A and B are shown apart, each in its own frame.
Chain A
Amino acid sequence: MRSTRPVLVTFLAVIALAATACGSDSKSKASGSVTVFAASSLTEAFTEMGASFEKANPGAKVTFSFGGSGDLVTQIGQGAPADVFASADDSNMTKLVDAGNALGTPTVVAKNSMEIITEAGNPKGIATLADLAKPDLIVVLCATTAPCGKLAASVLKTAGVTVAPKSLEDKVKGVVTKVTTGEADAGIVFVTDVKSAGSKATGVEIPATQNRVTNYPLVVTKQATNTTGAAAFIAYAASPDGQTILAKYGFLAP
């Protein structure tokens, strides 16, 4: 009897998933499927968060769709099946809320700041933001449509540095890929991106006077099919357990 229980739970979870996927779920429970649309800078931290949330809530299944925050707002506006939206900045969250696609007010669960990312070991010896202006360096930034691009532009402006980037990536992971594969010498990304790149990249801190801090607000979407599950996920992210995971990946407490 005991040994059949995990099988049964899996079975029920699959049914719940199928039911929500078909949109025929009449009354949502704390369990079931929760679909989270999250900014790509949350990829590693939220993947672990999802596994840990599922462990804490047997019967719940979290599915992620990671992408640029602006992209996700567009997708949700077009009716994408998101229960939770996790933005990498306030302005994209405001866009979603203003469009009437959010339920309730957003909860900030984490903060992040910017850092210079260089190839492993920092072979070009980059020490400050001003070094990024050197003409022989290949610097890659995010496009200003992405939060990382807006923040990088603001950081550079504060520091009074003009950079000629070789590429304006659509999302932060594009910058990370270009630097970790050695195609670019440096870029400006979130502190957490440098951390999750592990040994493939080295970070150069940006002084607090020049740096910018960004919020990560989470909200239940208007079209959520599992509002209870969505609220539970947001609460979990804000709980001590969730905060421990976020801190592990370099996020700052809200």
Chain B
Amino acid sequence: MSDATRSIAPPRRQGRPGRPVGRERLPVVALVLAVIAVAFFALPLIGLLWKAPWSNAWSLLNKAGSLTALRLSIVCSLWATALSIVFGVPLAWLLARVEFRGRGIVRALCTLSMVLPPVVGGVALFFALGRRGFVGQYLDRWFDIRLPFTTAGVVVAQTFVAMPFLVLTVEAALRQFDRRFEDAARTLGAGRWYVFRRVTLPAIRPALVAGAVLAWARALGEFGATITFAGNFPGTTQTMPLAVYLALESDPAQAIVLALVMIAMSFAVLIALRDRWLGAVTTPAS
């Protein structure tokens, strides 16, 4: 399948076969700025490593609640990513392909949660989906569904802040994708859904993966909307960022260990995914 999709994917401009991208030389100024940027991201991490209580790290990690929070974080962030894909890809498709009045407004609306302070987002979710919210009161009355203080509430809060990252990334890819490939498939008799699955989706796969990873990372680190909307209770709503934040007040050493576990996990996923998915598509086929 991947060979077929590769052959119809649009030609890439950079990276001619046989010429590694890494050989390119940057102007000195750009190089210096880039190195400063790397240091800017690396230094806080080094700071954490430097302050980490290595001797009793293991016992701190095994302290009550840490692993529960870690498990909850993984489960919730994966759910949030899945929901972001299920709803976000069609949304991106709508925004990229369908001309309609007020499209700009809809796009702004759907990315609003990126700029909204997360705590405000959490309160806004209360007003919409809470027990007294204008939708939530019917969820409560008719379906007995209550989101605040539940794990589902954590997923809702995370999805709310994470989905825009996927939507924007996928939308940009859909816009750049040469629609003639879809038209060609269509003239060959392929249905709309078939074209989307077999032509469009493979072509935007790198963007979809990148968007999903961004959304996942945002969901994993989500704090403000979660603690506001879902609350903080070990086992049901206390995710890693919440556990880290609370530990910071009582036991800073434990907070550092938890933060490092989160960082290590995200790091592994980001690197693995890049090689596995993005790398496979961007490196020229031999």
- Give the interface of A toward B (CB within 8 A): 68, 70-71, 74, 138, 140, 143-146, 165-170, 174, 177-178, 181-184
Stretch among B78-86, B241-249, B273-281 lining the A interface = B241-249
Task: Count A-B pairs with CB separation below 8 Å.
Answer: 63
How far in angstroms is the closest Cβ of chain B from A197? 15
B216-275 residues with Cβ-Cβ distance < 8 A to A are 227-228, 230-234, 237-238, 242, 245-246, 248-250, 252
- Give the interface of B toward A (CB within 8 A): 123, 126-127, 130-132, 148-149, 227-228, 230-234, 237-238, 242, 245-246, 248-250, 252
Determine if B132 and A168 form an interchain contact, defined as CB atoms under 8 angstroms apart.
no
List residues of chain B with CB within 8 A of the CB of A68: 249
Contacts A167-B237, A169-B232; is A145 near B246 (CB within 8 Å)?
Answer: yes
Determine if B132 and A182 form an interchain contact, defined as CB atoms under 8 angstroms apart.
yes
How far in angstroms is the closest Cβ of chain A from B198? 46
**What CA separation (Å) do A174 and B227 show in the bound complex?**
9
Determine if A170 and B245 form an interchain contact, defined as CB atoms under 8 angstroms apart.
yes
Q: Can you list 15 A-B pairs with a CB-CB distance of less than 8 A?
A: A70-B249, A71-B249, A74-B249, A144-B250, A145-B250, A166-B233, A167-B230, A168-B246, A169-B227, A170-B245, A170-B249, A178-B148, A178-B231, A183-B131, A183-B149
List residues of chain A with CB within 8 A of the CB of B230: 167
**What CA separation (Å) do A145 and B250 show in the bound complex?**
6
List residues of chain B with CB within 8 A of the CB of A167: 149, 230-233, 237
Contacts A181-B123, A183-B130, A183-B132; is A166 near B246 (CB within 8 Å)?
Answer: no
Q: Which residue of B lies closest to A78 (CB)?
A: B252
Q: Which residue of B lies closest to A185 (CB)?
A: B131
**What CA separation (Å) do A244 and B11 show in the bound complex?**
75
How far in angstroms is the closest Cβ of chain A from B235? 11
